[in-house]
């Protein structure tokens, strides 16, 4: 087995058989294997595993709309469980129509291309008549909906908006990173062959590139002589960039030739920046009042952008906030004003470091997966609107210039994700989650979502099944071999869906007459059609791994928007003007007060400069954790070792902790009007006062599950975050616009 490879979201691992059982080690070709992925096998027979199909007792007794999350479960066999699910799909579709079935199923259950939980259940439900779906993602939902208005539809994807790292390493003189947590680059949907982001960044810095990290936390800046840090209040990045634009206009440093050739609407933006439109000049002094940064630091920051080749990189976290469209839009405008669009290593980038794949100079292998078929139901919601959907049956939702009808959802079918991790204001979600008649969940472990289900179907973990793993923007494809047998009665999602399809009368259509091995061979041939140099399936299965262009450092080097910048008439963007829209007539026509038609400073409802800060004076940011992916692996390994006072660790600035009598290792109660949670305190000398960091992913653990607003014991930040979206345009999450207060907690209950 030692010659075989395995992959998860975290990376690619060798497997060795030992007397104590299988063990993982990082692939030797990976310069920075993800350490926390090595803990994955600890879940194999952990007490959190779901051992057999389970039915909520109240649901069996006819209590279909209450007590989810505060009830007991009854074990049944697979035959009974599959009958119950199939009967509910048929009953609800017949009585209320298939639009009353919601299968958002958002999450990162598997890196595999075949055992992709969402794909499996959507294929099955499409054959059953369809379902109400969701669009976009919590990670990138604001940008995904908004950027097509400015750059065209081709730039909506998470990997579309960045120059390649080799261009940055060779050409960029100054990289300004608004948010940079390099630990985020350890993960990627579909898996990672080689983690190279830190290598590329180090190469650029060693060449002499200047790096400015704009973040409330100084520890986000790497330890390098060419790296520096600028602290500003969360959610004020747009104001800082507006001040840069003001100074470029005032000093005559604007590249009007590029603006004329490549953009439209600069005159409207300039009127706003200079104050001609609203009477407020967006000067560095104005920005200092908004951002909390010293005016001299802002002037130094502005001067850095005068470098011959400058690149503005914005992390995905910036668009997960109130008016999250605006910093992205303003970065595009600022890059154009400096004449950087299309330059090698210059311009703007969204997401360098947010995952491993953004900016990789590779020929991406693409990701052919299971054919889901066609969904006969046209209804959908933006992914972050699930609580609105469930709580407001028959209502409407404004989205991207449309008014969406919200179906009356009678059934939620979820597989491969954990909405009680991803979603905001969990107390509101818990109430909305009681509305459907039936909730079906496929899950390997007892997450909060599992505990809030009616029918729980135990599914396998990635290391319990064979699969093919590859990221669409990676060049390493892996045959991921099962390490051990499935736990107890767990079954893979394909087998589960095939059983239900059989009960509904279309098992043959669902499986296409293939077993798993035949499906894997068929999917692999899809890659070989694109890349004939790949070995045949039998050889690939035996060797376990293949890397495309393995001996080439940068086989797909690219400058962002180079073709367009070189010949905009020959390569127009898919926007109304064919150019970058710094003023959007389309967005103006929507008439959304929360999304103006050009880059603007839109004060959040919750931020440190607003009135609500008088009651809740700490801004809570909930970044991705460094020791797990989302909520995965919270029960084992590094995530458990890093707990403080048996809870998720929250980082407080030393001044804020001292003012509240909080010491290192204390249990702390974070709270606001939406909820409260307990955390373990860690004290930082690098974090900006007024800011608290609490990573996402602690398993939601209410003290009293029957309470409408219970104290949360494990440190889940989403009992605090607001379920108010970035804007009506995108309906993206605004999780990072959140104010709280902190107090030392004397009653130490163990979660």
Kindly tell me if the per-residue pLDDT of 621 is higher than 90.
yes
Q: Distance of CA 643 to CAs 24, 541, 623, 679, Å?
A: 23, 40, 16, 9
Q: Which residues contact 141 (CB under 8 A, 6 or more apart)?
A: 382, 383, 384, 730, 731, 732, 733
Query: What 3-state DSSP class applies to 97?
Result: coil
Distance of alpha carbon 68 from alpha carbon 430, whole angstroms: 8
* Residue 746 near residue 734 (C-beta atoms within 8 A): no
Contact 325, 730 (CB under 8 A): yes
Across the strands, what pairs with 693?
621, 651
**Catalytic site includes residue 106:** yes
Q: Is the model's pLDDT at 377 over the cut of 60?
A: yes
Helix 295-304 to helix 237-250 angle (10° resolution) is 70
Please give the pLDDT value at position 364. Answer: 86
Cα(698)–Cα(108) distance, rounded to whole angstroms? Answer: 16
CATH 2.40.40.20 domain range(s) in the chain: 611-744
Q: Tell me: the pLDDT tens digits for 557-569?
A: 999 999 999 999 9
SS (H, E, C) 354-380: CECCCCCCCCCCCCCCCCCCCCCCCCE
Q: What are phi and psi of 465, to 5 degrees?
A: -160, 155
Q: How many residues does the chain have?
A: 751
Distance CA 595, CA 319 (A): 13
Pairwise CA distance, residues 348 & 331, whole Å? 6
pLDDT attached to residue 110: 73
What is the pLDDT, as a whole number, of residue 290?
98
Whether the Cβ atoms of residue 144 and residue 157 lie closer than 8 Å to each other = yes
Residue 5 has pLDDT above 90, yes or no: no
What is the CATH number assigned to the segment(s) 142-360+560-590? 3.40.228.10
SS3 349: strand
Q: Three-class SS of residue 388?
A: helix
> Tokens for 117?
């939980």
- What six digits make up the tokens of 48? 């959190």
- State the DSSP code for 383: G
β-bridge partners, 15: 24
Beta pairing partners, 73: 56
| Backbone phi and psi for residue 23, each to the nearest 5 degrees, phi listed first | -135, 145
Mean pLDDT for the stretch of residues 421-427: 97
Q: What confidence tier does 93 reach under pLDDT thresholds 50, 70, 90? A: very high
pLDDT on residue 465? 95
DSSP element (H, E) containing 498: helix 493-504
Q: Does residue 193 have a pLDDT over 50?
A: yes
Structure tokens at 612: 């609500």
Give the ranges where 380-447 is alpha helix by DSSP (H): 386-391, 419-422, 426-432
User: Is 632 in a helix, a strand, or coil?
Assistant: strand
List CB contacts of 537: < 8 A, sequence separation 6 or more. Answer: 520, 521, 524, 525, 528
What are the residue ranges of CATH 3.40.50.740 in the chain? 54-136+366-547
Whether 165 sits among the annotated catalytic residues: the reply is: no
CATH number of the structural domain 611-744: 2.40.40.20
Least confident window among 97-111, 119-133, 510-524, 542-556? 97-111
First to last CA, the chain: 39
CA atoms within 13 A on the CB side of 667: 17
Please tell me what DSSP assigns to residue 132. B
Hey, what CATH class is 54-136+366-547 in? alpha beta
> 677 - beta bridge partners?
670, 712
Concatenating the DSSP letter of every residue in 537-572 gives HHHHHHH-EEETTTT-S-TT---TTHHHHH-TTTS-
3-class state of residue 683 by DSSP: strand
- For residues 590-610, average pLDDT: 98
Give the range with max mean pLDDT: 19-23, 64-68, 190-194, 544-548. Answer: 544-548
Report pLDDT for 394: 97
**Closest-CA residue to 581 (of 198, 155, 228, 235):** 155
Tokens 């009353």 identify what position?
A: 100
- Residue 589: count other Cβ atoms within 10 Å of its Cβ: 10
- pLDDT over 80 (residue 496): yes
Question: Cβ contacts of residue 532 below 8 Å, gap of 6+?
Answer: none
Q: Can you tell me the mean pLDDT for 363-389?
A: 93
CA distance 448 to 722: 19
pLDDT band of 2, cuts 50, 70, 90: very low
Kindly list the distances between the CA atom of residue 177 and the CA atoms of 315, 393, 622, in Å, as whole numbers in the listed order.
8, 42, 18
Give a three-class secondary structure readout of 209-269: CEEEEECCEHHHCCCCCCEEEECCCCCCHHHHHHHHHHHHHHCCCCCHHHHHHHEECHHHH
Quote the mean pLDDT of the chain: 95
Tell me the C-alpha distance between 376 and 625, whole Å: 38
Backbone angles phi, psi at 598, to 5 degrees: -145, 165
- Position 10 scores a pLDDT of 84
What's the rounded mean pLDDT across residues 460-476?
Answer: 92
Q: Cβ(511)–Cβ(37) under 8 Å?
A: no
The whole-number average pLDDT for the span 581-591 is: 98
State the DSSP H helix or E strand holding residue 671, giving kind and residue range, or none if neither. strand 667-671
- C-alpha distance from residue 515 to each of 112, 470, 544 (Å): 16, 21, 20
- Element at 458 (helix H, strand E): strand 455-458
Every domain of the chain with CATH number 3.40.228.10 lies at 142-360+560-590
* Torsion angle (degrees, nearest 10) of CA 703, 48, 106, 548: 140
User: For the chain, how big is the Rg over CA atoms in Å?
Assistant: 25
pLDDT at 751: 61
Question: Which of helix, strand or coil describes residue 691?
Answer: strand
Look up residue 699 and give its DSSP letter: P
Query: Model confidence at 66, in pLDDT bands (50, 70, 90)?
Result: confident
Q: Is the pLDDT of residue 106 over 90?
A: no
For residue 1, pLDDT over 60 is answered with: no
Does 338 have pLDDT greater than 80?
A: yes
Say how far apart CA 68 and CA 517 lie, in whole Å.
38
Mean pLDDT of 11-34: 92
- The catalytic position among 106, 155, 316, 414 is 106
Residue 494 has pLDDT above 50, yes or no: yes
Q: Residue 366 — very low, low, confident or very high, per pLDDT cuts 50/70/90?
A: confident
Indicate which residue of 27, 40, 59, 108 is catalytic. 108
User: Is 70 exceeded by the pLDDT of residue 749?
Assistant: no
- Averaged pLDDT, 705-710: 92
DSSP annotation of 747 reads: -
What is the pTM for the complete model shown?
A: 0.97
CA distance 602 to 322: 8
- For residue 274, the model assigns a pLDDT of 98
Mean pLDDT to the nearest integer, 432-448: 97
């Amino acid at each position: 087995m030692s010659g075989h490879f395995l992959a998860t979201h975290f990376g690619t691992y060798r497997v060795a058989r030992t007397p104590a059982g299988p063990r993982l080690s990082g692939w030797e070709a990976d310069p920075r294997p993800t350490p926390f992925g090595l803990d994955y096998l600890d879940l194999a027979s952990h007490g959190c595993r779901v051992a057999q199909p389970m039915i909520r007792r109240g649901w069996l007794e006819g209590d279909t709309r209450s007590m989810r999350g505060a009830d007991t479960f009854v074990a049944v066999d697979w035959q009974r469980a599959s009958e119950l699910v199939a009967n509910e799909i048929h009953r609800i579709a017949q009585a209320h129509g298939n639009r009353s079935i919601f299968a958002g199923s958002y999450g990162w259950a598997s890196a595999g291309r075949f055992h992709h939980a969402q794909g499996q259940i959507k294929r099955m439900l499409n054959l059953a008549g369809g379902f109400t779906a969701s669009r976009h993602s919590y990670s990138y939902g604001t940008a995904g909906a908004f950027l097509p208005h400015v750059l065209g539809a081709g730039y909506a994807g998470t990997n579309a908006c960045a120059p390649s790292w080799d261009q940055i390493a060779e050409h960029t003189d100054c990289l300004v990173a608004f948010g940079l947590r390099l630990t985020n680059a350890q993960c990627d949907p579909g898996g990672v062959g080689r983690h190279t982001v830190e290598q590329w960044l180090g190469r650029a810095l060693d060449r002499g590139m200047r790096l400015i990290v704009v973040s409330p936390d100084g520890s986000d800046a790497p330890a390098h002589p060419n790296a520096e840090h600028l602290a500003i209040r969360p959610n004020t990045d747009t104001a800082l960039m507006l001040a840069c634009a003001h100074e470029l206009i005032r000093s005559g440093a604007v590249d009007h030739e590029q603006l004329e050739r490549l953009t439209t609407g600069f005159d409207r933006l300039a009127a706003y920046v200079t104050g001609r439109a609203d009477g407020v000049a967006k000067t560095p002094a104005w920005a200092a009042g908004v951002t909390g940064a010293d005016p001299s630091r802002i002037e130094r920051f502005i001067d850095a952008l005068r470098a011959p080749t400058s690149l503005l990189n914005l992390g995905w976290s910036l668009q997960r906030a109130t008016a999250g469209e605006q910093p992205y839009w303003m970065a595009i405008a600022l890059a154009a004003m400096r004449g950087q669009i299309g330059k090698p290593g210059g311009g703007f980038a969204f997401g360098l470091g947010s995952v491993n794949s953004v900016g990789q100079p590779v020929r991406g292998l693409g990701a052919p997966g299971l054919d889901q078929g066609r969904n006969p139901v046209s209804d959908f919601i933006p992914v972050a609107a699930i609580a609105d959907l469930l709580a407001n049956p028959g209502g409407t939702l404004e989205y991207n210039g449309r008014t969406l009808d919200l179906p009356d959802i009678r059934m939620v079918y979820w597989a491969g994700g954990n909405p009680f991790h991803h979603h905001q204001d969990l107390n509101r979600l818990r109430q909305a989650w009681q509305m459907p008649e039936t909730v079906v969940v496929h899950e390997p472990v007892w997450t909060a979502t599992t505990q809030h289900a009616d029918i729980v179907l135990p599914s396998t973990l990635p290391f319990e099944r064979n699969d093919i793993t590859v990221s669409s923007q990676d060049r390493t494809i892996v045959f991921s071999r099962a390490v051990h047998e499935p736990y107890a009665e767990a079954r893979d999602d394909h087998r589960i869906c095939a059983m239900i399809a059989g009960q509904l009368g279309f098992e043959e259509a669902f499986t296409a007459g293939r077993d798993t091995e035949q499906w894997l061979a068929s999917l692999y041939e899809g890659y070989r059609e694109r890349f004939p140099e790949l070995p045949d399936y039998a050889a690939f299965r035996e060797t376990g791994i293949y890397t495309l262009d393995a001996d080439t450092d940068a086989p797909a080097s690219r400058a962002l928007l180079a073709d367009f910048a070189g010949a905009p008439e020959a390569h127009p963007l898919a926007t109304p003007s064919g150019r970058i829209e710094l003023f959007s007539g389309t967005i103006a026509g929507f008439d959304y007060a929360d999304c103006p038609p050009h880059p603007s400073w839109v004060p959040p409802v919750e931020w440190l400069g607003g009135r609500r800060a008088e009651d809740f004076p700490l801004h809570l940011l909930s970044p991705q954790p460094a020791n797990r992916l989302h909520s995965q692996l919270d029960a084992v390994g590094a995530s458990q070792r890093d707990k403080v006072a048996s809870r998720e660790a929250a980082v407080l600035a030393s001044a804020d902790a001292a003012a509240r009598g909080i010491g290192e290792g204390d249990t702390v109660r974070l709270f606001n009007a939406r909820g409260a949670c307990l955390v373990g305190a860690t004290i930082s000398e690098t974090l900006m006062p007024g800011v608290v960091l609490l990573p996402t992913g602690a398993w939601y653990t209410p003290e009293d599950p029957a309470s409408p607003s219970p104290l949360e014991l494990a440190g889940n930040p989403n009992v605090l975050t607001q379920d108010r979206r970035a804007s009506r345009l995108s309906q993206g999450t605004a999780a990072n616009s959140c104010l709280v207060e902190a107090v030392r907690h004397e009653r130490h209950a163990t979660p």
